[in-house]
Structure 1
Amino acid sequence: MQAIQFFNGKFVPKESITFSIDDVGVLRGFGIFDYFKVYNGAPAFMEAHLNRFESSALLLGMEIPFSRNEIETAIFKIIQHNEFPLSGVKVLMTGGASPDGFSAGKPNLVITNTAVSETNPSFYAEGVSLMTHQFTREMPQVKTTNYATAVRLEPIWKQKGHIDVLYHDGHYISEVSRSNVFLVEGNKLITNEEGVLPGITRMNVVNLAPQLGFVVEVRPIALSEVLAAQEVFITSTNKKVMPVVKIDDQEIADGKVGAKTKLLMEGYAKLLAEETKQPSFQN
């Protein structure tokens, strides 16, 4: 059975989705998206992701051409039709075809549902490493389609054996290109919020942490503090709670996955299983 997607009110194969070359999403990078996982037909934290999508549109002054109910109905229709055991849903809106090469036009709304694979389990058992790069994202609170810096840097971090890049301004960190950052110091869980995308997994971990005995501190974090931390991990829809054991050439503590990070990994796995009504999750 051929998979279907949603494009401006119609349900079509992915190959039938086309954009004008004059779309400001193509010409000027003027577009937003959000993304969440679906487990055996059950979306994970869909409402929170759609809330963020609406917030991104508002902050960019974009008008979503369909109602929340219409978008949710379309999402469930393509999920039920495609029947993927594990998949991702991406809700994407571009600025539309421009009359003059600069001004926005009528927005395009696309919702795709694509089968995905599980993340490499060794990333959770052994931890991962990050490369650092001095860079400040424009409008970090908006989930835009502009990932030019990360796409440019990807071949470099892969060549060096890293899985992603940690941005900083020369003193304070902001975020990883597609993830939020946490430090563990004793029973304190530290994360930042200024200059970062309000991650949905981040939000869930912040809410979960006190139940697991952590005191949450939300404040700016210096790069030097990250390098000296007892434990570091990153969070995102795809990565969930992923331990970081090395940054550039420096190991974090003893270079192994920490006990507190493991506790949060297990706690988030249970939360995700409850949300999607699955028997269990393993990192």
Structure 2
Amino acid sequence: MSTATHTAHALRDARTMVRRNLLHARRYPSLTLNVLLTPVVLLLLFVYVLGDTLSAGITGEADRTAYVAYLVPGILLMTVAGTALGTAVSVCNDMTEGIVARFRTMAISRSSVLIGHVVGSLLQTLGALVMVGGIALAIGFRSDANPLEWLAAVLLLTATSVTTIWLAVGVGLSSPNPEAASNNGLPLLLLPFLSSAFVPLDAMPAWFRWFAEYQPFTPAIETLRGLLLGEAIGHQGWLAAGWCLVLTVLGYRWALALYRRDPAR
């Protein structure tokens, strides 16, 4: 088989697996709804229940609109993390229910199984971001970004999504059952809480601030906030890009090693 023919077959198999994962998400929407509810509920809770108090602490006056602008970038990154948690459970389901073992006996590209999960999850994540972004606009979020900054913001969200998805695939492959995958993937959902998503770094205790400042989500949130609000980004953009690159490579290699190591699972 020529290289071109092999590539064409691999792409066809990957498209089939992407379609399978999207159909699975449509037929069983409960998991997707569960991971989407968390950022939406947090957005509404922090804006309408805690917004005045937190905005007074940040800006010196009770300005809910200002806090919406501050909060939305963090909620968008939390949406990315929450959707990736669903990917970990979905991957683990496939591994433990035996469907992957059956795929291995078929004349399909072995990499197409992982590609289907990654691309399918990325499309779901982008759809979730559009939905959460629409809710943010409905409750008063407004952006000062120009078209170039909007493009950079979309690219950042896409890159962060790819990073978290590959890490989630590794979590799913390394977990013995879906419940364990859900628990093992919780750090992906908890890290945004330990960042600058809800309050500025200056408001945190000194002993904790160093972790919040340099963990992966804070540079991404600060970069996205700067892009959407037309503020200076400084070195945060380079930190966000560096974290995305390093963690994507690590997540990809980890997932690939786990997938190849246990063909009989």
TM-score with structure 1 setting the length? 0.30
Name whichever structure is richer in helix by fraction.
2
Tell me which of the two structures has the higher relative contact order, counting C-alpha pairs closer than 8 angstroms and 6 or more residues apart. Answer: 2
TM-score with structure 2 setting the length? 0.31
